[in-house]
Each structure stands twice: as C-alpha cells, then as structure tokens.
Amino acid sequence: MLTQKMIQRLNEQVNLEMYSSNIYLAMSAWCANKGLNGSAAFLKDHSKEELSHAYKIFDYINETGAMATIEQINKPQSEFTSLQDVFEKTYNHELVVSKSILELVDVALSEKDYSTFNFLQWYVSEQHEEEKLFKEILDKFEIIGMEGRGLFMIDREIAALLR
C-alpha cells in the first residue's frame, strides 16, 4: 500500500513523462517542418516511448489499489534555433527527468516503501540509457560538424538510432 506522499510523487512523475512525450512530439514537428525527416521520426518514436514510461507508473499506482490522477500538462516549446539546439534541450530535459527519478527513489526509501523502491530501479537504469543516448547524439554534432553536408549526415545518423 502506497503512502499519500508516494502516490502524489508517482502521479507527478506520470505528468512529467507525459510532458516529456509532448516535448519530443513538438520537436518532431519542428524537425519535419525543416525537412529533417530522420530526426522527426526519431523524436516521434521517442515521444511514444515516453508515454510508455508514463503508463508503466500509471499501471503501478492502480495495481496497488491507489488511483492515478491525470493533471494538466504544460505546453512544450515549439520553436528552436537549430537541430543542435533541439538535441541540447533533449539532453538537458533528460537530466531533469533523472533528477526527478532519484528524488522518487529517496521518497520511497524515506517512506520505507521497498516495493516502490524496487519498481523504480527500472527507471534508474532507463535514465542511464536515456542520458547516454542523447549525449551520443550531441557528440555527433561535434564529430561531424554542421559544415557542408554535415546536417544531412547528422539527420541520417539520428534516424539510424531508432530503436
């Protein structure tokens, strides 16, 4: 059985994951509008993945007999200065999500909720993968550069990361 504090923090995480989904969907639209179809496909796919992160917590809350609550989701940014700006923002956003997950882990421990602590381990590992993935993309901007066909090549490389 979850404590009220745990329920509230898990529900906030559901909201953050849904917000993440919308952030990446808005970025996908921006990329599609600029003809960056590889990045658009990658970000749309990642938007779906974020929804699966939200649903996993949603199901967990409901399975415990508590009730997941759906709140208003903040409007995501829709304009960016460049593709590099898009992916700098994805990486920074993932750092925010990681921090939030670690705070959730702290709450689980302080509430002596070892079941939720165990459940959250999947998210701890996932955030490691998410940070690694977006850092890898940022590195491509440094390695390939934006000169000449650089942007085209980066977009193609990002499309190849679709998982």
Residue closer to ligand FEO (CB basis): 5 or 99 = 99
Options 7, 14, 18, 20; binder of ligand FEO; rule CB under 6 A: 20
- Minimum distance from CB of 94 to ligand FEO (Å)? 5
Q: How far apart are CA 130 and CA 53, in angstroms?
A: 12
Measured between alpha carbons, how far is 64 from 77 in angstroms, rounded to an integer?
Answer: 35
Smallest distance from the beta carbon of 13 to ligand FEO, in angstroms? 9
Query: Which residue has its beta carbon closest to ligand FEO?
Result: 53
How far apart are CB 71 and ligand FEO at their closest, in Å?
Answer: 17
The C-alpha atoms of residue 91 and residue 131 are separated, in whole angstroms, by: 6
Q: Footprint of ligand FEO on residues 78-107 (CB under 6 A)?
A: 94, 97
Exposed (0-12), middle (13-18) or buried (19+): which is 15, by Cβ within 10 Å?
A: middle
In the bound state with ligand FEO, the residue whose beta carbon lies nearer, of 55 and 153, is: 55
Asked if 155 touches ligand FEO (CB under 6 A), the answer is no
Query: What is the three-class DSSP state of 3?
Result: coil
Q: What span, in angstroms and rounded, lies between the C-alpha atoms of 142 and 146? A: 9
Largest CA distance in the chain: 58
Q: How far is the CB of 148 from ligand FEO (least distance, A)?
A: 32
The span from the CA of 31 to the CA of 33, in Å, is 5
Using rule CB under 6 A, residue 53 touches ligand FEO: yes
Residue 21 CB, nearest approach to ligand FEO (Å): 8
Residues near ligand FEO, by CB under 6 A? 17, 20, 50, 53, 94, 97, 130
